Homo-oligomer: A and B are copies of this chain.
Amino acid sequence: MRGAVIHSPGDVRFENLDDPKVIEPTDAVIRTVATCVCGSDLWPYRGLEPVGDPHPMGHEYVGIVEEVGSEVTGVRPGQFVVGSFATSDNTCANCLNGWQSSCLNREFMSTCQADYVRIPNAHGTLVATDEHPDAEMVPSLLAVSDVMGTGWYAALAAEVKPGSTAVVVGDGAVGLCGVIAAKELGAERIIAMSRHASRQQLALEFGATDIVAERGEEGVARVKDLTGGIGADSVLECVGTAGSMRQALHSTRPGGNVGFVGVPHEVAIDGQELFFSHVGLRGGPAPVRRFLPYLIDRVLTGRINPGKVFDLSLPLDQVAEGYKAMDERRAVKALLKP
Which residues of chain A have a CB within 8 Å of any CB of chain B?
A: 93-94, 97-99, 101-102, 104, 157, 228-230, 240, 242, 245, 253-255, 260, 263-272, 274-285, 287
| Residues of the B chain whose Cβ atoms lie less than 8 Å from the Cβ of A245 | 271
In-complex Cβ contact of A269 among B228, B265, B269, B284 (8 A): B269
B94 touches A254 (CB 8 A): yes
In-complex Cβ contact of A272 among B157, B263, B270, B276 (8 A): B263
A278→B281 CA distance, assembly (Å): 10
Shortest A156–chain B CB gap in Å is 11
A264 touches B272 (CB 8 A): yes
A334→B260 CA distance, assembly (Å): 42
| Residues of the B chain whose Cβ atoms lie less than 8 Å from the Cβ of A284 | 254, 275-278
A259→B193 CA distance, assembly (Å): 30
A281 touches B276 (CB 8 A): no
- 16 CB contacts below 8 A, A to B, read A94-B255, A97-B254, A99-B254, A101-B278, A102-B254, A102-B278, A245-B271, A260-B271, A263-B275, A264-B272, A266-B271, A268-B268, A269-B271, A274-B283, A275-B283, A277-B284
A253 touches B283 (CB 8 A): no
B278 touches A99 (CB 8 A): yes
A157→B281 CA distance, assembly (Å): 11
Which residue of chain B lies nearest to A245 when distances are taken between CB atoms in the complex? B271
Which of A101, A264, A277 gathers the greatest number of chain B CB atoms within 10 Å? A264
**A269/B274 contact (C-beta < 8 A), A97-B254, A99-B254, A281-B280 known:** yes
| Residues of the B chain whose Cβ atoms lie less than 8 Å from the Cβ of A228 | 93
B93 touches A229 (CB 8 A): yes
Which residue of chain B lies nearest to A227 when distances are taken between CB atoms in the complex? B93
A285→B272 CA distance, assembly (Å): 11
| Residues of the B chain whose Cβ atoms lie less than 8 Å from the Cβ of A98 | 255
17 further interface pairs, Cβ-Cβ under 8 Å (given A242-B271, A263-B272, A280-B282) = A93-B228, A93-B230, A94-B253, A98-B255, A99-B254, A265-B272, A267-B271, A269-B269, A269-B274, A274-B281, A275-B283, A275-B284, A278-B282, A278-B287, A279-B282, A281-B281, A281-B282
A99→B254 CA distance, assembly (Å): 7
